[in-house]
Chains A and B, each alone.
Chain A
Amino acid sequence: MTASSAKSKWGRILLVLVILVALGGWLTWWKLFREVPQTLADDSMEEYFKYGSIGTEEQDGIPFWIWLVLPKMFPEYLPSPGGWASLGFAWEQGHDLPVGFSKRTIGFERVGVNCALCHAGTLRKDANGVPAIYLGAPATTADILGYQRFLFRSAADPRFNAANILGEIGQVYDMSLIDRLLYRFVLIPATKKALLKQAEQFAWTNQRPDWGPGRIDPFNPVKARVLKVDVGDTIGNSDMEPIWNLAPRAEKGMALHWDGLNTNLREVVLSSAIGDGTLPKALPVERLVKLEDWLKALPPPRFEERFPIDADLAAAGSEIYQAQCARCHAMDGEKTGQVLTMDDPEWAEAGTDPADDRPANTDAHRAEMWTPEAAEAYNAYAAGYPWKFENFRSTGGYVNVPLDGLWLRAPYLHNGSVPYLSDLLNPPSQRPKVFYRGLDLYDPGRGGFVAEGPDAVSHGWRYDTKVVGNSNQGHLWGTDLAPEQKKALIEYLETL
């Protein structure tokens, strides 16, 4: 054997190796990392808001075929029969994903969540009817903690394995051999591991009262997962908020979030995507800015389009509103959009409920959850990125919120502790102590979603105001009005 022939033999082997490695690398890239631009039904912002990606798929995206079969494999971990629909997501006719879920291919199809998960509300007039969807409205029925727990419990179940999951996928889809191998050896084990890790990051939720439908703890997940700030004993359970009509809020520099932890809309938009699970490097800033512009102009839904209004009664109510509420709640009110701290004497000046020995301020847990330490950490978080966080702060109070679209924002107060507008105008001791959340059947007379009765008991989630963080105390404004005045005021409030 000559030296040159030995050389050329090694050369050939090397060449084959290089080709193999290149092929393997290309395949790995193609099957795991290749980014395909999302195609939606159209280019509208509505469509993007409902199904578009805000970047959550990269870190938290669940492989589509696993996501599809999980509810069939573990129905016992869902609140009721009904698959994903049992968690109360808004669902449009003909869509394979509910509103608030995005499907995007990064190597493989992944399912993530977006803003609409918590900010697309539903309403129906009949218990058996088809819910109308209101974009930007609080998602009254969506059980976000229920969704996470379902995923965590499924991942922890020994039946969450390649054989079972591929068997279930095989019932509805003829998967190619290479994808089967990918799922068996990479995606299924990796998904299980990622979900179990997430379960640990959310372990603190197990030591706290449940959120229930329409509520989340908005910032403790950020503290635990993103900022690595100790959650401590804090409880942040609060109602999802509407995100329509943001332009006047931004122009007037109103404080945003229930406790007004930030006054800069851009920071609130970007940090919300991060809170939903988007990695900073995956943040689609340009699209989110466009979304912000769209939300600025999104009008609040009109009550009159669904239910009749007594114009005379509303006119009478308008006068009461101007005298009693406008200063803090009208869009141009003197104190609207500002924070009322817990130690502000105004709470007590609103009156007292002799039958109620609790303080006149609303439940303090949500405000206390966002600590100065957390605010400082979030302000430091954006260092090194082309966007900035510098307006986060801890306020120790709650914002006087504008009331546009108020009729669709039930239950009321930041923790959603008062089911109807009519209850909010009653002194705390007369507000319901226990009621049911999670129905989207509307009661126009009282201004809120049906919260009692057999349907509510069987389909709803029991809200107990005695549970820590759930107190329905405080906000005594308007509780001393005469019954007919209250009726007029409610009629007017529903027109906002």
Chain B
Amino acid sequence: MTNNEVRTKTRDESLVDNVLASPVDQHLARTRRRLAWGLLWLILLAIVVWLVVRFNCDRPVEYADDQEHFKYGSIGSEPGGSVLDAAGGLLPPRDIFAILPQVCPDKLPGGYASLGLIMEPEHRFPIGVSERFRLGIDQVGLNCSVCHATTLRDNPDSERRIILGAPAHGLDLQKFFRFVLNCTLDERFSADNLIGLMERNGTDLGWFDRILYRYFVIPRTREQTLVLSQRLALIMGDDIPEWGPGRVDTFNPYKGVQFNWPLDRLPLSELIAASDFPSLWNQKPRDGMYLHWDGNNNSVDERNLSASLGAGVTPVTIDHPRLERVRDWIWTLPPPAYPYPIDQAKAEHGKELYASRCAECHADARFKDGVVDAKLIGTVEPIEKIGTDRHRLDSYTFDFAANQYTLYPDSKYRFTHFRKTQGYANQPLDGIWLRAPYLHNGSVPTLRALLDPPEDRPARFYRGNDVYDPKNVGFVSDVAKEGDVSYFLYDTSLPGNGNGGHRYGLELAPEDKDAIVEYMKTF
């Protein structure tokens, strides 16, 4: 018997000799087995590497041009963190966000544009929506320009021009969030329906993505939205007056989203704090001034980081370099020049009146060039003196400031400048012609009306129209409807909407008031 034979006993105890494979065969078989195992391991390793790379890859869509970056670039507000503990984000993934108006057509018949979001040709998403591949899928987020870009028409028939850095006068942000939250929690937000609609709209989902969306992305999106909608329920609900277009409640959503305060245990009046979007240009001369309507912060950078939280970033997901690119751009972005004729003689007369009555608090036309000649600009005017609606002021509490100091923990970005004030800040007026309606809550439609006593200012007017009114300086505010577009009726008798206070220049003759307004067109 050679050594490649074995003798085995059969059941009936007889002995059988089996011839085994030769050593060469044995070696070959071993090699084959090893190769097969090796290959299997290699494939597994490749899969693991591919998964790790795919889910750790963080790839924002880049824009070479600063303006394009401002409009569409990412500041990190798309969901991020780790796959297991995703953080941040207010919007569903890109391809779902794109079809959301089709998922719930009854909730948004006019599509995103009907909310005042600005659509440009050649772009899939409105200005203010950024794209980024993160956590293994294409995501979308919001950036600064969603609230800080506007459109303007000379008359109802003329072209809309887009002006970046201006308050988004037409954007109804509350309605936008309501729609996204409601539709994501709608029963039609199901994997079958969404994947079907995505594919019909040209999204080519491979088998892996289909599994990913069905079993992970869609359930997780719903879960996160459920938490978000609970935290924001009161602010998005009907118990408080609507924000309407061009306004946002800056700090109350923060209390719910960032800190998980039970908002139903706060006095309801504290949750009424909608205020106008500010302009974003010409930040350099503002550094060191007290910013936000109530002057609660004197650091432009900290203010930027805080506003980014509102757009959906978290300390973990924020993209500091790309946010700094925006910061650098708005640092010196000039305010837009008034595009209509100015009566120079009248403006000259207005300049004198302005110098004696307004300049101490607001600086003059030279602010746009960085000349700050005003003692009280950027300081807080006590509420008793300014007398404007105090809801916004009261929504920002000392306890809230204390909580803000814990944001961006253990980093050089941690908030340290926020403070509770007792009034509203004296604002610089650069580009003021495009910052209508006026006062912090946008309760006075035009500059000219602001110079009238509160009882003569319009008690009810319409917001959201982007046709300009050069006579009164502001947007047209007496048109309820244009085609099938209805504008938002602003009622100054509602809590938080009061148009009282700021009683300056009221006693002037009408032609003097006109002159001041004419001069302010040059800002």
CB of B41 closer than 8 Å to a CB of A: no
Q: In the complex, which residues of chain A have a beta carbon less than 8 angstroms from the beta carbon of B82?
A: 170
Q: Which of A127-135, A214-222, A270-278 contacts B (4 or more CB under 8 A)?
A: A127-135
SS class of chain B's interface: helix, strand, loop or mixed? loop
For residue A126, CB closer than 8 A to chain B, the reply is: yes
| A171 interface hit (Cβ, 8 Å) | yes
A284 interface contact, C-beta 8 A: no
CA A348 – CA B267 in complex, angstroms?
A: 48
Partner of A91, one of B88, B316, B394, B402: B402
Stretch of A81-89, A334-342, A383-391, A441-449 contacting B (4+ beta carbons < 8 Å): A81-89
Are the C-beta atoms of A171 and B417 separated by less than 8 Å?
no
In the bound assembly, the distance between CA atoms of A96 and B403 in angstroms comes to 8
Given the complex, which residues of A lie within 8 Å of B398, measured CB to CB?
85, 91, 128-131
* Minimum C-beta distance from B397 to chain A (A): 7
In whole angstroms, how far apart are the Cα atoms of A91 and B403 in the complex? 10
A170 to B409, CA, bound (A): 12
Number of interface residues of B (CB under 8 A): 39
Alpha-carbon distance between A91 and B405 when the two chains are bound, in angstroms:
10
Q: Are A166 and B85 in contact (CB under 8 A)?
A: yes
One digit per residue, 1 when the CB lies within 8 angstroms of any chain B CB and 0 when it does not, for chain A 351-364 equals 00000000000000
Q: In the complex, are the beta carbons of A93 and B261 less than 8 A apart? A: no
Residue A172 contacts which of B255, B263, B267, B316 (CB distance < 8 angstroms)?
B316
> What is the CA–CA distance of A171 and B315 in the complex, to the nearest angstrom?
7
Q: Is the CB of A83 within 8 A of B405?
A: no
Whether, in the assembled complex, B406 has its beta carbon less than 8 Å from a beta carbon of chain A, the answer is yes
Enumerate chain B residues within 8 angstroms of A82, measured Cβ to Cβ: 261, 397, 399-400, 402-403
Asked if residues A68 and B262 are in contact (CB atoms below 8 Å), the reply is no
0/1 string, B368-399, CB within 8 A of A gives 1: 00000000000000000000000000100111
Q: Does A11 contact B (CB under 8 A)?
A: no
Residues of B within 8 A of A126 (CB): 422
Indicate if the CB atoms of B409 and A167 lie closer than 8 Å: no
Residue among A68, A82, A129 facing the most chain B CB atoms (10 A cut-off): A82
Report B-chain residues with C-beta under 8 Å of the C-beta of A171: 81, 85, 87-88, 314, 316
Complex alpha-carbon distance, A130 and B263, angstroms: 22
Q: Which residues of chain A from 143 to 177 have any CB-CB distance to chain B below 8 Å in the complex?
A: 166-167, 170-174
| Cα of A297 to Cα of B120 in the assembled complex, Å | 69
A130 to B398, CA, bound (A): 6
At the interface with chain B, which of A72-80, A247-255, A305-313, A402-410?
A72-80
In the complex with contacts A171-B314, A171-B316, A172-B314, A95-B85 CB distance below 8 A: no
Q: In this assembly, does A94 line the interface, its C-beta being within 8 Å of a C-beta of chain B?
A: yes
Contact B265 A170 (CB under 8 A): no
B401: CB under 8 A from chain A?
yes
Cross-chain contact A96 with B265 (CB below 8 angstroms) = no
Taking a contact as CB atoms under 8 Å apart, the answer to whether B265 and A80 are in contact is yes
Contacts of B419 in A (CB 8 A): 93, 130
In the docked arrangement, what's the CA distance between A94 and B401, Å? 9
Residues in B with CB closer than 8 Å to A260 are none
What's the Cα separation between A173 and B410 when bound, in Å? 8
How far is it, in angstroms, between the C-alpha of A95 and the C-alpha of B409 when the chains are bound? Answer: 11
Q: Nearest chain-A residue to B417 (Cβ)?
A: A94
The B-contacting residues of A in range 172-191, CB under 8 angstroms, are 172-174
Q: A128, B422: Cβ atoms under 8 Å?
A: yes
Is there a chain B Cβ closer than 8 Å to A98's Cβ? yes
Q: Is the CB of A96 within 8 A of B409?
A: yes
Q: Which residue of A lies closest to B314 (CB)?
A: A171
Does A72 lie within 8 Å of B259, measured CB to CB? yes
Q: Does B420 contact A (CB under 8 A)?
A: yes
Instruction: Mark out the residues of chain A between 45 and 90 whose CB falls within 8 Å of any chain B CB in the assembled complex.
Output: 68, 71-73, 75-76, 80-86
* Contact B402–A172 (Cβ < 8 Å): no
**Interface assignment of B260: CB less than 8 Å from any CB of chain A:** yes
Any A CB within 8 A of the CB of B266: yes
Chain B contacts for A93, CB-based, 8 A: 401, 405, 416-419
Contact A129 B402 (CB under 8 A): no
The CA-CA distance from A170 to B83 in the complex, in Å, is 11
Q: A166-B85, A171-B314 are in contact. Are A85 and B420 (CB under 8 A)?
A: no
In the assembled complex, B460 has its CB within 8 A of some CB on chain A: no
Contact B314 A81 (CB under 8 A): no
User: A residues within 8 A CB of B401?
Assistant: 93
Query: A76 to B265, alpha carbons, bound, how many Å?
Result: 10
A430 to chain B, nearest CB (A): 33
Q: How far is the CA of A282 from the CA of B223 in the complex (A)?
A: 46
A128: contacting residue among B87, B259, B397, CB under 8 A: B397
Q: Contacts A171-B316, A173-B410: A81 and B416 contacting too (C-beta < 8 A)?
A: no
Q: Which residues of A contact B267 (CB under 8 A)?
A: 458
* A355–B417 alpha-carbon span in the complex (Å): 55
CB-CB under 8 A from B226, the residues of chain A are none
B260: chain A residues at CB < 8 Å are: 72-73, 75
Q: Which residues B411-435 have CB closer than 8 A to chain A? A: 414-420, 422
**CA distance in complex: A86, B398 (Å):** 10
Q: Of A76, A81, A128, A170, which one neighbours B85 at CB under 8 angstroms? A: A170
| Complex CA–CA separation, A97 to B337 (angstroms) | 47
Q: Which chain A residue has the least Cβ–Cβ distance from B411?
A: A173
Within 407-432 of A, Cβ neighbours of B (below 8 Å) are at: none
- Complex: how many Å from CA A183 to CA B400? 28
**Which residue of A has the minimal Cβ distance to B394?**
A128
Q: Which residues of B contact A85 (CB under 8 A)?
A: 398-399, 402-403
Q: Which residues of B contact A86 (CB under 8 A)?
A: 399
Given contacts A68-B409, A75-B260, A83-B261, contact A170 B87 (CB under 8 A): yes
Q: A81-B262, A93-B417 are in contact. List 7 more A-B contacts (CB 8 A).
A: A83-B403, A85-B399, A93-B419, A128-B422, A131-B398, A172-B316, A173-B316
A and B contact pairs by CB, cutoff 8 A, 20 listed: A71-B259, A73-B260, A75-B262, A76-B262, A80-B265, A91-B402, A91-B405, A93-B416, A93-B418, A94-B415, A94-B417, A96-B414, A128-B420, A129-B398, A129-B420, A130-B398, A171-B87, A171-B314, A172-B409, A173-B316
Interface, chain A (partner B; CB < 8 A) = 68, 71-73, 75-76, 80-86, 91, 93-96, 98, 126, 128-131, 166-167, 170-174, 458
Where the two chains meet, the residues of B that have a C-beta atom closer than 8 Å to any C-beta of A are: 81-82, 85, 87-88, 255, 259-263, 265-267, 314-316, 394, 397-403, 405-410, 414-420, 422
Nearest 9 CB-CB pairings of A with B? A94-B416, A170-B85, A81-B261, A85-B399, A82-B399, A85-B402, A91-B402, A72-B260, A171-B87
